[in-house]
Amino acid sequence: MIIEDDNEINRMLKILLESNGYTTSSAYSGTEGILVHGKDISLILLDIMLPGRSGDEIIRELKEKHNVPVIIMSAIHDIDKKVNLFSLGADDYVTKPFNNDELLARIGARLRGKTGQGIVSSSLKYRDIEIDNDNFTASCAGIKLDLSKHEFNLLKLLVENSEKTCTKSMIYDRVWDYENSADDNTLNVHISKIRKKLRECNPDTEYIKTIWGIGYRLT
């Protein structure tokens, strides 16, 4: 469900999602969003600046009615505000104006993490890379990778979105969780270390491709 009061943005999102295989419904205010939300909804895109009841005012009510992932869409950059939205129950956050591929990647990741009764799969696999979420371990070609916390989370994000490009802003949000220490140099160093460790396991294969000026994806 798209909860967005701007008609043009709501329409654009509807076209984008339906062209990528999703079925959508739209609401144009917080109150309408509460009324439309139900068992047939599996994810919500929620704008914050809504007429009447704002987006942050209805997050908990949406979750109580039917608990599905809520991705916030907002131009707000304030860290404290973002943290507060997560404490209210938001599952993810994308900053306007957003990249369409990034939004689709975030939606796909949230829906893949929602299986059965909300149980997240304990393992991920891409080619000969395996991620064990339960034990926070990863391996390549059967060889265990010695990864730091951020390296593990970065590789996991790339595997979760193996068919998409992970933009830099998406990586900063999901891997560094809005830490101020994250910048292009930090990201480049972590990618370089992951590439080196993967190459040590399988010298003949290149796993990570740089999309210049945008981010990274698996090859």
CATH 1.10.10.10 residue spans of the chain: 123-218
Over residues 12-26, the mean pLDDT reads 90
Return d(Cα 53, Cα 62) in angstroms, integer. Answer: 12
Burial status of residue 117 (CB atoms within 10 A of its CB: 0-12, 13-18, 19 or more): exposed
Delimiting residues of CATH 3.40.50.2300 domain(s) in the chain: 2-112
The model's confidence at residue 59, banded by pLDDT at 50, 70 and 90, is very high
Strands 26-27 and 2-3: parallel
pLDDT tens by residue, 125-178: 999 999 987 788 999 999 999 999 899 989 998 998 887 888 887 888 778 865
Q: Which pLDDT belongs to residue 181?
A: 60
Quickly name the fold that domain 2-112 has.
Rossmann fold (3.40.50)
Domain spanning 123-218, CATH class: mainly alpha
DSSP assignments along 134-187, one per residue: TTTEEEETTEEE---HHHHHHHHHHHHTTTS-EEHHHHHHHHSTT-TT--HHHH
- Across the range 55-79, mean pLDDT stands at 88
6-42 burial, b at 16+ Cβ within 10 Å, e below that, comes to eeebbeebbebbeeeebeeebbbbbebbbebbeeebe
Amino acid at 165: T
Of 90, 218, 77, residue with least CA distance to 154: 218
**Could you tell me the pLDDT band of residue 15, with boundaries at 50, 70 and 90?**
very high
Q: Indicate whether this model's pTM tops 0.85.
A: no
